[in-house]
Each structure stands twice: as C-alpha cells, then as structure tokens.
Amino acid sequence: MSRASWPRAGLVLAVSGILSAGCWEQVSPEWFAQMKWQPSVQPLDGVEPKLPAEGTIPLGGIEPRIDHPAPAFSPQAMLLQNPVPATTESIERGAYVYGIYCTVCHGADGMSNPQEFPVARRLTESGMPPPPLVAVPAYTDGFLFTKIRYGKPGMPGYPQIPPRDRWHVVNYLRTLIKGAGGG
C-alpha cells in the first residue's frame, strides 16, 4: 500500500466506524426484546367464546361422534348402513373425492405405489407405508365410512369430508377394488 492511499483507507475506516456505531442499537439483543416487553392491549384475555343458544344445531346437522378407542371397530360403526345407492353419479363423485384426499397415499388404483407418489414414498421411508386397499372387500361399509372419518394410526382422519361424500367414497372403493361386495 502506498503512502497516498493511507489517508483514503483511514477515511473509509472512520466513516464505517461511525456508521456502525449508529446502528448498534438495531443489532443489540435488547432491541429485539423491546417489542416483547412493551405494554399491549389484549381485549380477549380471559374471555371465553360465547356458546350457541341452547337447542341450536349447525346448518348441516350434527354427526354423532363415536366414543371408542378404535371407532372403526366399534359396534356403532359395524352397524352403519350406506344410505347412498351405488349409482354412476355416486361412484363418479366418490372417485373425485378419492382423487383429492386418498390418491396421494393409496394411489389412483388403491395399490399404494411409493415410487409413484411422493407422500407415499415419504411415509414408506419413515416406516409407515400406506397399505394397499386390497382388504376393502372384507370390510363393512360402516367400517370404511368410519375409518375415513376418524383415521387410524398412520392415517389421518378426514372429518372435513361431508358424510354424504364419505359414503360416495365407500361406493367408489367397492368398484376400485375388484371383488368388493357391499355390506
């Protein structure tokens, strides 16, 4: 470095030192916590949500909850009868809903091919492979309907699927897996 560049280097060093000192408060640990410690208004603290008026029910009615450790194996589930006839429209609707919620794990053909679907692959790698749906013929309609709603270990429940659509999925499963009888 030449003698002529020393004053320039000194000036750059001095300016950066001044600028850094001006920013210290913003990088200080105390600065980040200030928002946490400031007074704030929490109007809903300690206020419970209002309950609906007695005797009211949701617009779509209330689906009875099965209180059982394994709801799909409960007597209530086994006795459920499919109120939706297995028409072409029902099977098409079931295929549509199955495509949204079930295909990512069980595959379009119900055989759970982990090489084809990333979610099934991740589940398989984690030791919880989604099973092929070959056992569907052995299950009752009520069992399948309840298993879709509540899930099981390794499978989430899908209570967000409306009951009628779950019955459509059951009808579709009966056609997807050959030899599936109703019941």
Judge contact between 182 and 86, C-beta under 8 A: yes
Task: Give the orientation angle of helix 163-176 with respect to helix 88-101, to 10 degrees.
Answer: 100
Three-class SS of residue 131?
A: coil
pLDDT tens, N- to C-terminus, the chain (183 residues): 666 677 777 787 777 766 666 555 555 555 555 555 666 676 777 777 777 788 877 776 667 788 888 888 889 888 999 999 999 999 999 999 999 999 988 888 888 888 888 888 888 888 888 888 888 888 999 999 999 999 888 788 999 999 999 999 999 999 998 754 444
Task: Give the orientation angle of helix 141-150 with respect to helix 163-176, to 10 degrees.
Answer: 120
The pLDDT, as a whole number, for residue 2 is: 66
Q: Which two tokens stand for residue 155?
A: 């499978």
Sorted by where each begins, the domain ranges of the chain are: 71-101+136-176
Return all residues near 18 (Cβ < 8 A) that are at least 6 apart. none
How many beta carbons lie within 10 A of that of residue 31, not counting itself? 11
The pLDDT, as a whole number, for residue 37 is: 62
- Whether the model clears a pTM of 0.85, i.e. scores above it, the answer is no
The pLDDT, as a whole number, for residue 124 is: 86
